[in-house]
Amino acid sequence: MTSIIGIKCEKGLEGVVVVSDFSGTQTRLINDGIDTAHYERRRTASKKLYVDPKREVVIGTSGQTNLHGYSNFLSKILKDSSLIRKAIRRTVKTHHLKELKKLNMQIARSNQDSNPPLIRILIATRYNNDSRLFQSDENGYLLEVPYVLLGSGAGLMYEYMSRNHKVIPSETSITEGIDLGFRCLHEAFRDPFTGGRDLVVVTKTRIDELGKEIRGAINYARRIAIQEAINRYK
């Protein structure tokens, strides 16, 4: 499962903040006996945010991402980010990533579920020194937006935002966007399959991937706290 939030920030240094969880869900069928079985789900570390080699595009994905077709789709658009550049150059009514529509049609055809978890994506770009944020629908149409909420934790994050913060890019700085993003993600941790933390910040001049640093600091602090508890009883 997935929880991703993207926030456009225009107060002070302009940019886009993208925060996500860092966990995936594996489901397998366990045979208990001749006539009985059950499904087992477990959470694993899983990257959700991807940066192209030219460091111009960030892509966040949710949906049925454990398929071979998804890997091919992601590899193709990261290797050739001009596909995204072309899609967002089109007029507002026709921002369209055809490759995503094709992938979701394949998922729908191959899935017996009447409502399969189709792929939705977040795209943050810095083409021509201009940071922008887009979200897709299942048909590959892209809409430029002030913020994006994706994945199984999106409802929980939206509830938190609606109670506590209205996103207005012109009134939101990058530092405020990072703080809000992680507060929303913390709320999404109520979803049992959301966990871990990742952060990417897009400005006009660069893309910074900060999740590894944050996860390392959290793990270090956790180890220190546990050791202090142990030392208390030595």
Give residue 224's domain range: 3-26+40-232
33 falls within a domain: no
Across all residues in the chain, what is the average pLDDT? 84
Q: Which residue has the higher pLDDT, 50 or 89?
A: 50
Please tell me the distance from the alpha carbon of residue 171 to that of residue 161, in angstroms, as a whole number: 15
Q: Which of 1-10, 151-160, 172-181 has the largest mean confidence?
A: 172-181
Rounded to a whole number of angstroms, the distance between the first and last alpha carbons of the chain is 41
* pLDDT for 27: 45
What's the chain's length in residues?
Answer: 234
Lowest mean pLDDT, pick from 7-21, 109-123, 138-152, 197-211: 109-123
Greatest Cα-to-Cα distance within the chain, rounded to the nearest angstrom: 68
Count structural domains, the chain.
1
Place 91 in a pLDDT band, splitting at 50, 70 and 90.
low
Return all residues near 50 (Cβ < 8 A) that are at least 6 apart. 58, 59, 60, 61, 74, 78
Q: What are the DSSP E strand ranges found in 10-92?
A: 15-20, 23-31, 37-45, 49-51, 57-62
96 falls within a domain: yes
159 falls within a domain: yes
The owner of tokens 């939206």 is: 158
Q: Which residue has the higher pLDDT, 76 or 200?
A: 200
Please tell me the distance from the alpha carbon of residue 177 to that of residue 6, in angstroms, as a whole number: 9
* pLDDT for 65: 74
115 falls within a domain: yes
When pLDDT is averaged across residues 163-167 and rounded to a whole number, the result is: 86
31 falls within a domain: no
* pLDDT for 169: 94
| Domain containing residue 156: CATH number | 3.60.20.10
When pLDDT is averaged across residues 122-134 and rounded to a whole number, the result is: 94
Nearest to 57 by CA among 181, 200, 214, 213: 200
**β-pair partners for 122:** 60, 135
pLDDT digits (tens, 9 = 90+) for 12-71: 999 999 999 986 554 444 555 555 544 444 455 578 899 999 999 999 988 877 777 888
Place 74 in a pLDDT band, splitting at 50, 70 and 90.
confident
32 falls within a domain: no
What is the signed CA dihedral for 90, 16, 155, 151, rounded to 10 degrees?
70
74 falls within a domain: yes
Is residue 94 over pLDDT 80? no
Please tell me the distance from the alpha carbon of residue 140 to that of residue 111, in angstroms, as a whole number: 19
* pLDDT for 171: 95
